[in-house]
Amino acid sequence: MDHPTDHTGPGGLPRSDVGMKCSRCRGPARHRLPSHNARFCDHCLEVFFKRQVEKAIKQFDMLQFGQRVLVAVSGGKDSLALWQVLTEMGYPAEGVHVALELGDGKFGEASLASSQEMAQRLGAPLHVFNMAKLAGFSVQEIAWANKRSFCSVCGTLKRYHLNKLALDLDCDVIATGHHLDDEAARLLGNLVRRHTQYLESQWPTLPGVPGAFAKKIKPLCRLRGAEVKSYAKAHGLPVARGECPRSKGATLPYYTEAVRMLEERMPGTGLNFYMGYLEQKDGPPAAPKDFNQCPSCGMPTFAETCTVCRFLERTKEREERKARAAETSGQL
Contact stretch for Zn ion (CB under 5 A) within 19-27, 142-150, 197-205, 249-257:
19-27
Q: Judged by CB, which is closer to Zn ion: 52, or 202?
A: 52
Number of residues lying near Zn ion (CB under 5 A): 11
Q: Is 107 helix (H, G, I), strand (E, B) or coil?
A: helix
The span from the first CA to the last CA of the chain, in angstroms, equals 53
Residue 266 CB contacts under 8 Å (≥ 6 apart), including other chains: none
- φ and ψ at 322, to 5 degrees? -65, -45
CA 121 to chain centre: 21
The C-alpha atoms of residue 71 and residue 111 are separated, in whole angstroms, by 15
Q: Does 188 bind Zn ion (CB under 5 A)?
A: no
What beta strand segments (E) does the chain contain? 31-33, 38-40, 69-72, 93-99, 126-130, 173-175, 205-206, 215-217, 292-293, 300-301
Shortest Cβ 155–Zn ion spacing (Å)? 17
Q: Judged by CB, which is closer to Zn ion: 41, or 82?
A: 41
Q: Judged by CB, which is closer to Zn ion: 60, or 213?
A: 213
| Paired residues of 128 in beta bridges | 97
Shortest Cβ 13–Zn ion spacing (Å)? 14
Q: Judged by CB, which is closer to Zn ion: 7, or 21?
A: 21
The interface mask with Zn ion, positions 112-151, x = CB under 5 A, is ----------------------------------------
Q: Judged by CB, which is closer to Zn ion: 48, or 91?
A: 48
Q: Does 25 bind Zn ion (CB under 5 A)?
A: yes
Q: Does 44 bind Zn ion (CB under 5 A)?
A: yes
Q: Which of residues 295-314 bind Zn ion (CB under 5 A)?
A: 296-297, 306, 309
CA-wise closest residue to 212 among 290, 283, 129, 304:
290
Shortest Cβ 321–Zn ion spacing (Å)? 22
CA distances 194 to 72, 198, 318, 327, Å, are 29, 9, 35, 48
Q: Judged by CB, which is closer to Zn ion: 89, or 297?
A: 297
Q: Does 157 bind Zn ion (CB under 5 A)?
A: no
Chain positions contacting Zn ion, by CB under 5 A: 22, 24-25, 27, 41, 44, 294, 296-297, 306, 309
